Structure 1
Amino acid sequence: MIDRRLFLAGSALFCIGADDPVPTAAAQLDAAAKVDGRERLALLRRISRQGLSPALSLDVAAALRGAELELAIAKAGDPAARYAFQLRFQGGVDITPDALFAWCSRRVQAITTRLDRLLRGEGLTEGPVAERLRILARDPRYLYADSDAGRDRAVADMNRWLSAARAWLSRQAGTLPPAVDHVAVRRMTGPDEAAGKAGYRVVPSYDGAAPGAYFVDLHDIRRRPAWSLPSVVHHETLPGHLLQLPLQARAAPHPLRLRAASGFVEGWAFYAEALAADVGAFAQDGRAEIGYLQWMLFRLGRAMIDIGLHLRGWTADRAHTFLHDLQGDPVIFAPFDKDIAKARSDPASFAGQVANWRGFSLLRARAVAQRRDVRPLHDALLAHGAFPLALFARL
């Protein structure tokens, strides 16, 4: 039998060896992950960051920020104060709910104005924007056939958008993983389609040796007009999830860092859609831009009902009406009532994703205003995997 005192003594020597701080910090992070509350915070505060790699230093800083905020959430007696801490925790940035709601409102107004012009170009001139989006979504000219041929055509169209994204991606990132050449949009198996399985991703390995794919949900294909799919490509594949996630897997951030950056991954994918629009991906296709803008209304609407339900006294009925009047039909995988229930049960989760999107957008806007190359910015944002954007200055 191993003497427990000798085992603990050996572990301590490994953890506090002066010559190599990395095992010390890594072991202390692992120990902190096994406890919570004040005990976790105390363990994290004892970690020295001297001599750590940038990634491990980011692990420690993110874990510490997360532990401080989780303790503040647990202690907050006032619901408004608790939600403010939840937004900082979920969003990874230090923004108030009122400021985020105002940003969302401004974005909604700008998007709705743009959609009005684009829909007029489609001959849809009467009624609210949301109602005109409903009409366009039912226009048979833009619907795929409910058949194998129709589904194959939808996947082929999406892969053409993916190929176009590869052509401009190198102008937005300086270091691209080989994986970007080994991703595709694919159909689900027949049984998965028949069962109505939601779309899902297979993340490629960094080197592309194990290819990746987005398996698109086409079981109810008549609810997926052609103009709604290009933005899905940029969200799910390039420059969205199938660019960010292989880099994250290679960086292997500590679970405590990922816990403190829960809105980063989806926020990046929202930003990826906006980046595609900003580089002109939709410039020659007004209907594809309509689809992109409707997706943005969907994401902004989720954040606004999240804040509305928790801080502004909104009822479920009011939130439902708000979404109905904002975006047109619900998206295929997110009925309004489902999103309202999610917003209620997981405070600040939707808002936190949008807070990350906003954070990425502000960083790029600053770089563009200063006439700096955005490629080093995007490289720095992605190289180490998800982290709270409030810590970006450390990189």
Structure 2
Amino acid sequence: MDFRKSLVALSAIAFAFMASCSDTSLSNSEQLEALIAAHEGFDSYDKKKYRLGLYTPERYQKEADFADSLLTQLAKLDTTGLCDSEKISKELLTFVLKDDVAFNDFKRYLNPLLSDSGFHLNLNYRVRPLNSYAAVINYLHVLNAIPDYVDQHFANLREGIATGQVQAAVIFEGYESTYDDHIVLDFKDSFFYSPFKQLPSSLTEAQKDSVLVAAQEAVSKNVIPQFMRIKQFFEEEYYPNARQDIGVSSVPGGAEQYQDRINFYTTSEQYTAQDIHEIGLAEVARIKARMQEIIEELNFKGSFADFLRFLRTDPQFYAKTPEELLMIARDMAKRADEQLPRFFKTLPRKPYGVAPVPDAIAPKYTGGRYVGTSKNSTDPGYYWVNTYDLPSRTLYTLPALTVHEAVPGHHLQGALNNELGDSIPQFRKNLYLSAYGEGWGLYSEYLAAEMGMYTTPYEEFGQLTYEMWRACRLVVDTGIHALGWTRDEVVDYMASNTALSIHEVNTETDRYISWPGQALSYKIGELKIRELRKKAEEELGADFDIRDFHEVILGQGTVTLDILEQRINSYIERNKEQ
């Protein structure tokens, strides 16, 4: 039986099980498998009809109701006889379903905009090379679906305006670039037309001719005019109604929504905003002390602020061309590659490339990011490096950025997660939790010191300023969304405690304003991994093996921090008994 037929069969079992819990003929494992299959097989809308997705309140209510029904059955499921991986699946499915319910309860779909992304910016990710006739036809369907996609989001955003669920006005400075660049006079100059400039060689001449005619019509009638509508909507409707307060606590139900985001992004219910704020202050003080030591070791004559000014202005710390920046990033990535066998037992089969952030999104984009692909995709993963505004792209922070986004950071962790095969269900292969994933990325920056990636005191300072950056996030995110901080206070705090360029400080500040809670995940996750490593080292002594430790951290893919702690505790006990 193929996978799809198996999924359909298991979904049928699950629905029958949910309808009548008196049937005890299924084992606990079979009941869990059926509930997982129901979750994975649930389809809230017709994917062929809505090529770019369905974003109506009715869809989200349908998904929340279904999630709630599954939660009821999961709560009744006895874990007796379940293996460790199955227990993890049950716990993770519960976590995911609770967030599905919360998404609808807080109506987060009414506010789908971030400082560096949004519903219209997401369309950029649909543009990619076309390698077959089927891919060409599918892409044409996508372009022609844009008007309905825009209409759906306009409806939600207008409801958000009416109910006060809107973004802060301050994050939209420069936002016009996200749509103005797509308003062109000649359809051939559209970014969305670019894939048609190199059609697959497998197409016949007749197919090429018909495709180019269809492409002109799609871009001229369903792409460019929609970005004109988007421009008009933002500038005439949304910006005038965006909120003046920067914290999410200022919107209706905002304090409860922020606590929900804290719980989600730390994968824990143990923290309040004040707890995290105080952890951040303590980390800032610790890291700053080490940074000061490096300044003294360099015999720099001046204050901490003078040293940051030196780092931000001296030409030695900046690439002269985008090509030079990419070349240096590739060199660093390759140096990280060679160290992996010394620290990891299992390495991913999927390779990765180093590429620039696309021009269409670069001005408001972060310094770099990892973009993964599915296991069966013929595309590699990509470590994107932002080559826009070179005077803001510091070379001394590039090693830390590289190991975070490429290896041993996001690419290694994400690719291994995708390659776990049948040992975990599909929903776990697709799952990304920031406390785990971003915590691992930040831990990778720490690990890179042992890998020999920081070759100068300036690069070590760069690693510390990136760690300081994440520690500052704990302070400023809670400051923004719970403690009433102004944007100027956030910028001043970030600028005075990190060596980030002022451009990056401003870009990151807008990101924290627009995305409550996400910035907390990095440092909270990293602190937990380092805490668990220290515990394993102390309790196992000479028997501690860094490759075994990392195997346990990565071996079950994405998990919550509570699950991760349980796994490391079990690993320690097993090794003590040997």
Normalising TM by the smaller chain, what interval? 0.7 to 0.9
Identity of aligned residues (%): 22
Q: CA deviation at 1:188?
A: 5.9
What residue is the counterpart of 1:157 in the other structure? 328
Alignment pair present for 1:374 and 2:540: no
> Contact 1:204 / 1:242 at 8 angstroms: preserved in 2?
no
Q: CA deviation at 1:275?
A: 1.4
SS of residue paired to 1:186: strand
Q: CA deviation at 1:142?
A: 2.6
For residues 253-268 of structure 1, what are the structure 2 equivalents within 5 Å? 255=427, 261-268=433-440
Alignment pair present for 1:235 and 2:404: yes
The amino acid that maps onto 1:350 is: A
Counterparts in 2 of 1:360 and 1:258: CA distance versus 1, 3 Å: farther
For residues 131-150 of structure 1, what are the structure 2 equivalents within 5 Å? 131-145=306-320, 150=321
Aligned partners of 1:192, 1:270: CA distance in 2, in Å? 27
Alignment pair present for 1:169 and 2:169: no
Aligned partners of 2:335, 2:345: CA distance in 1, in Å? 18
Q: CA deviation at 1:72?
A: 8.9
Aligned partners of 2:362, 2:494: CA distance in 1, in Å? 29
Alignment pair present for 1:105 and 2:134: no
Aligned partners of 1:331, 1:48: CA distance in 2, in Å? 54
What residue is the counterpart of 2:458 in the other structure? 287
Alignment pair present for 1:320 and 2:320: no
Larger displacement relative to structure 2 (109-118 or 77-86): 77-86
Which of the residues 466, 481, 496 maps onto 1:310? 481
SS of residue paired to 2:383: strand
The amino acid that maps onto 1:242 is: H
Aligned partners of 1:293, 1:18: CA distance in 2, in Å? 53
The amino acid that maps onto 2:26 is: A
> Contact 1:231 / 1:292 at 8 angstroms: preserved in 2?
yes
Aligned partners of 1:391, 1:132: CA distance in 2, in Å? 42
> Contact 1:267 / 1:355 at 8 angstroms: preserved in 2?
yes
1:245-283 deviations in Å (ceiling 9; x for gaps) = 11122246655897783432222111111111245432x
Aligned partners of 1:319, 1:221: CA distance in 2, in Å? 24
SS of residue paired to 2:342: coil
1:186-205 deviations in Å (ceiling 9; x for gaps) = 3467x669978764534367
What residue is the counterpart of 2:512 in the other structure? 343
Aligned partners of 1:310, 1:369: CA distance in 2, in Å? 38
SS of residue paired to 1:214: strand
Larger displacement relative to structure 2 (311-320 or 294-303): 311-320
Q: TM-score, normalised by structure 2?
A: 0.56
1:287-334 deviations in Å (ceiling 9; x for gaps) = 1111111111222112211122333343333223222221144465x4
Aligned partners of 1:105, 1:278: CA distance in 2, in Å? 26
Unaligned runs of 5+ in 1: 1-7
The amino acid that maps onto 1:24 is: A
Give the superposed CA RMSD.
3.9
The amino acid that maps onto 1:140 is: P
Q: CA deviation at 1:132?
A: 1.8
Instruction: Work out which of the two has the higher radius of gyration on C-alpha atoms and give 1 or 2.
Output: 2
What residue is the counterpart of 1:87 in the other structure? 262
What residue is the counterpart of 2:181 in the other structure? none
Count of aligned positions: 377
Q: CA deviation at 1:141?
A: 2.2
Aligned partners of 2:518, 2:488: CA distance in 1, in Å? 20
What residue is the counterpart of 1:296 in the other structure? 467
Q: CA deviation at 1:39?
A: 4.0
> Contact 2:462 / 2:499 at 8 angstroms: preserved in 1?
no
The amino acid that maps onto 1:376 is: D
> Contact 1:151 / 1:221 at 8 angstroms: preserved in 2?
yes
Aligned partners of 1:274, 1:151: CA distance in 2, in Å? 27
> Contact 1:152 / 1:187 at 8 angstroms: preserved in 2?
no
The amino acid that maps onto 1:369 is: E
Aligned partners of 2:64, 2:102: CA distance in 1, in Å? 16
Larger displacement relative to structure 2 (51-60 or 383-392): 51-60
> Contact 2:428 / 2:557 at 8 angstroms: preserved in 1?
no
Larger displacement relative to structure 2 (78-87 or 152-161): 78-87
> Contact 2:429 / 2:557 at 8 angstroms: preserved in 1?
no
Structure with the larger RCO, 1 or 2 (CA within 8 Å, 6+ apart): 1
Counterparts in 2 of 1:208 and 1:9: CA distance versus 1, 3 Å: closer
Alignment pair present for 1:270 and 2:270: no
Q: CA deviation at 1:175?
A: 1.6
1:198-226 deviations in Å (ceiling 9; x for gaps) = 64534367699753331311122232232
Q: CA deviation at 1:241?
A: 0.7
Counterparts in 2 of 1:208 and 1:163: CA distance versus 1, 3 Å: farther
Aligned partners of 1:356, 1:301: CA distance in 2, in Å? 15
What residue is the counterpart of 1:387 in the other structure? 559
Counterparts in 2 of 1:88 and 1:258: CA distance versus 1, 3 Å: farther
Q: CA deviation at 1:386?
A: 1.5
Alignment pair present for 1:24 and 2:8: no
Q: CA deviation at 1:59?
A: 2.5
SS of residue paired to 1:100: helix
The amino acid that maps onto 2:447 is: L
The amino acid that maps onto 2:63 is: K
> Contact 2:317 / 2:396 at 8 angstroms: preserved in 1?
yes
SS of residue paired to 1:176: coil
SS of residue paired to 1:178: coil
> Contact 2:436 / 2:560 at 8 angstroms: preserved in 1?
yes
Alignment pair present for 1:34 and 2:34: no
Larger displacement relative to structure 2 (31-40 or 286-295): 31-40
